[in-house]
A and B are shown apart, each in its own frame.
Chain A
């Protein structure tokens, strides 16, 4: 605790960050296994960033490394402009963190837990903490060990907001929450935290909740970035073109379709052809219709985040 007090007395180093999180070719290994394998990622300031990936993709390891709980084996990263290795104390003073498995002292009551956090934080807004505790309806006299899993994550979120963070990082924040509690928490994330100017970075594998609240998404798989994009941009630029031909097109034509600009995947089943498109689907559609095989129907299909996620996992080949 002496180190934390030490920073309290001096001003935090000034940084001029362009992004809330900037990860550059990060590598984190557990023994021989690379959990994070050359990850590069940028999280814009003010965004609500959903960090997605299948189980074991490296989401939690990435988050722990960003917060300085693990040392990277290669590459670098900055959080709010602070280097994660050399400035991790200053970094943690401005970042709120809600972990997947909350490590809190079981024998403390909620107010004692709040006092403990206040003592170790640079900034503290007790009224914010009280407001969240009240909103979640947490029993103030209870000890941490008496709380359910969902209540513990609500408590962790309330306490993380007490330090008035500029960036809030949450690891699977809604796991273990019932639908109402989940909705309340997501509402707080967008309506209070993000609308108040705090950047939100949260990992999840529940695509529908990410789709609802995030404006940016990043997908990782096997420790590598698959895509990072504004969600609306992703939805505008990724479509499927469904074609029904008058007669089944020959293999040569399918190869020709594969070579068209923007076509990333072509599946055929008799007279039906399905083209996955990244980029300008209208131009591609016109090109397809100008080809010498008669079409019965050409339909552009919008993709939701789940479709997009699954498409990327198929392309990656090693997804599940």
Chain B
């Protein structure tokens, strides 16, 4: 059972969107690796108690994004992304950095103060790494 999938059918977010986002996230953080098998449509329908067509729709979307592929005899597997995962991870990280800076600005934190805090975090973490 894919315990990293957790669909909330009571949410206003379409279920297939939730599945797509969660599989994407699982790939980004490495919960599933290239070549790993994803549950079959039937298995996932039973595990999550949702209509099989909804899962087919999510898998089709993920296939279009190039994140998963169907292989005869192997079912649905996470695609080999050849470094594009790392690229995507980096992009996600930079987007988060962008958000943090924007939020800090809207809280009225000055550029100097933010830069100082950022330096402090870097020093602390990279120092720890060296020990």
Contacts and interface: CB of A to CB of B under 8 A. Distances in A.
A46 B53 contact: yes
A283 interface: no
A118 interface: no
Contact of A214 (B10, B41, B45, B51): B51
Contact of B12 (A47, A186, A213, A302): A302
Contact of B51 (A215, A236, A301, A302): A215
A236 B53 contact: no
Nearest to A44: B53
A212 B54 CA distance: 11
A7 interface: no
A240 B44 CA distance: 31
Question: Which size class do A's interface residues fall under?
Answer: 20 to 34
Contacts of A183: 49
A215 B14 CA distance: 10
Interface string B10-53: 11111111000000000000000000000001110110011111
A310 B16 CA distance: 23
A211 B46 contact: no
Nearest to B7: A212
Given A195-B42, A236-B14, A190 B51 contact: yes
A48 B12 CA distance: 19
Contacts of B10: 208, 211, 304, 306
Nearest to B8: A304
B9 interface: yes
B53 A302 contact: no
A107 to B, nearest CB: 36
Given A215-B54, A304-B10, A307-B12, A195 B45 contact: yes
Interface in A185-203: 186-187, 190-191, 194-195
Interface string A298-320: 00011110110000000000000
B12 A304 contact: yes
Dominant SS at the A interface? helix
A274 B63 CA distance: 38
Contacts of B42: 191, 195
Contacts of B46: 187, 190-191, 195
A300 to B, nearest CB: 10
Contacts, number: 72
A232 interface: yes
A235 interface: yes
Given A232-B54, A232-B57, A303 B49 contact: no
B11 A213 contact: no
A236 B57 CA distance: 15
A307 B11 CA distance: 10
**Most chain B Cβ neighbours within 10 Å, of A190, A213, A307:** A190
Interface in B32-91: 41-43, 45-46, 49-54, 57
A233 B45 CA distance: 19
Contact of A191 (B11, B12, B13, B45): B45
A46 B55 CA distance: 13
A48 B49 contact: no
A194 B49 CA distance: 11
A34 to B, nearest CB: 32
A215 B52 CA distance: 8
A130 to B, nearest CB: 19
16 contacts: A47-B53, A48-B52, A48-B53, A183-B49, A186-B49, A187-B46, A190-B45, A190-B49, A194-B51, A194-B52, A194-B53, A208-B10, A215-B54, A232-B15, A239-B12, A304-B11
Top-6 shortest CB links A-B: A302-B12, A191-B46, A232-B14, A215-B51, A195-B42, A48-B51
Interface of B: 9-17, 41-43, 45-46, 49-54, 57
Given A48-B52, A231-B15, A302-B13, 17 more contacts: A183-B49, A187-B49, A190-B46, A190-B51, A194-B51, A208-B10, A211-B10, A212-B9, A214-B51, A232-B15, A232-B16, A235-B12, A235-B13, A236-B14, A236-B17, A239-B12, A302-B11
